[in-house]
Every structure is written in structure tokens, then in C-alpha cells.
A and B are shown apart, each in its own frame.
Chain A
């Protein structure tokens, strides 16, 4: 029985080389990783293909109408970025806010906190 062979290309962002790394997938498993100049690229490509994550940065409203820049305290799955933004569009935060303060918990069910990236008086 032959499983589907599927190739994905990932551009590495670990260093300025920007290797175009080709990852072959066979039946949901990584079959080969090619085109990377170093080991770090291999790990990056593996993560990108199996469970890509990103730190989300966006804004939420303060109760007085101003905007508060925020970020997820840790990277969240890339596939949940839009859900997270949507959820955060309903969040209203009380003033004053301190940088690093948690303004929302468990965004998009990820278990990750959303924190303020500036203080507002």
C-alpha cells in the first residue's frame, strides 16, 4: 500500500540565509527534509510542518475608547490566529493598565494569556 507523498516548502527565518527547505511528508510522517544549511533549519522546518505557532500581537479597547496593544504571552497555533483576534475584539480593559498585565486568559482555548504591551494611565 502506498501512502500519499506530499511536499511542503518552508522558508527558514532563523538566520538571514533564508533557506528554502523542502519537507516531504508520507502518510502524515516526515519522510525527508532537504535544502537546509544547518540543524536549526531542520528543527524549524519540522515545527513549521507539524505544529506551526506564532505570537499574536493586536489591540484591545480600553473602557475610555483608547487602544491597548497586547500580545499572547506564548506562541499559539497558527491556525487559531483569526479565532483569537475575533475573541479579543470583544474585550474591554479597565484603566489604568500596567505593562505585562494579563488582560485576557485562555485565548481561543489555547490556555495562553494575553498581556498588555504598554502601560496606560
Chain B
């Protein structure tokens, strides 16, 4: 189903930017990823799947990690504009997680995707995703020095 790019940006642009920022920790990378996502949509003749939201998150996730994996990517883990506090410490630890675990945790815990939807975005089955989320949460809690309490 073809959709209006401007309307898609109005609907999902801010969410995609926040998603990209949480994955990268760098505002410029987040802005560029969202921009490149929509610019590539404008250039391609391929229709955008319906619903568009999971598809757009998948594209932005790929673009963020592509940028971060470039040899010239900035080494910073966190935007220096954000003063360090407890929340940004969590972000720093989130950014230390492996890419797939990081993306899974942000999609499920922050963006509110279901395991099925996040599985489609990350191209893994929901069971594998559950394992990744479990391990990612455990790693974050251990790094924070919290007692590990889960419902799994």
C-alpha cells in the first residue's frame, strides 16, 4: 500500500527519531537515520507495507547500526548535551549491549511492540526474542548492581 511520505513522517517521525536516538545515543545519527529512511522511501518504487510502523522502525534500526559500524563512526556512547544522571547511566549501559539485544529491548520495553511485531522487525522468531530480552535485562540489572528479580 502506498502512503503519503509527509503524512508518515508526521505520524511516525518523532517516534523514529527517539528510537534512533535510544539506539545510538547521538542526536545527529538519529536525525540522519530518519532522514535517510524517508529519502530512500521517496526514491524507491516499492510500496510501503501496511502497517508502516514496524517497517519504518526496521529501516531506521538498520540505518543506525550501519552508521555506527562505519569505521569513521563517532566513538561517543552518549550525547554530551545530556547531563549525566541516573537515567542517562541506564542509557550508557543500554548502549553497551550488543546491537540485537539493544534493539530488541528498546522495541519491546520502550516502543511497546509485541514480541511478534518486534520479531518481524528484527527477523527473529518470538521465542528467540524472549531469550534476548531476558538476557539483556539481566545484563543491565547486573551492571547496575541490582538484585536480579525476574518473572521468567
Asked if A and B are interacting partners, one says no
| B binding-site residues for A, Cβ under 8 Å | none
